[in-house]
Amino acid sequence: MSALSTIQIKEANAHLAALHHHVAELEGTVREQAESLIRKDEQYQASLRDLSHAKDREISELQKKLSQYEDEMQRLMASIKDKDRQLERLQHQSQLLAQMCHSRPLLSALVSLMAEAEGNPCSPNVEQCNGLPSVPDYAHSEDSDLDKTLFGTTV
């Protein structure tokens, strides 16, 4: 084996020193990049947490609104049912009123006849009383209370 010269040893040492320096630079670069990645990862995790909390808050708010809308819908449905019952009652009353209006001429004639009967009673000997036939089985006696009775109207 041959012995290395001093110059070769110095060059080898310089080369080793440069290599150590380059390795140290590369290790520094790797550390910086690792720290940068760790910071970015922490930032992304913080952003994800913030987004998750914002999403949870929004979901909570939407659930509250949904609950309020459902309550409002139930209230409106109850109101609609109440209005339907009122409408049915008013329709029935309207039908009754229409029937009353249809029967009004007959009722007016009946009331006027009753008023006339109160003011001008018929005598049993007359065949017709104000255009109405007398009732043949109507029995009058002098001591009967029927002569004293007046027709009453409440219309």
124 domain residue, yes or no: no
Domain carrying residue 92? 6-118
140 domain residue, yes or no: no
52 domain residue, yes or no: yes
110 domain residue, yes or no: yes
49 domain residue, yes or no: yes
148 domain residue, yes or no: no
| Greatest alpha-carbon span in the chain | 176
69 domain residue, yes or no: yes
127 domain residue, yes or no: no
Question: How many structural domains is the chain composed of?
Answer: 1
pLDDT digits (tens, 9 = 90+) for 86-142: 999 999 999 999 998 999 999 899 999 999 999 865 544 444 444 544 444 434 444
Is a pLDDT exceeding 90 seen at residue 151?
A: no
Q: Give this prediction's pTM.
A: 0.45
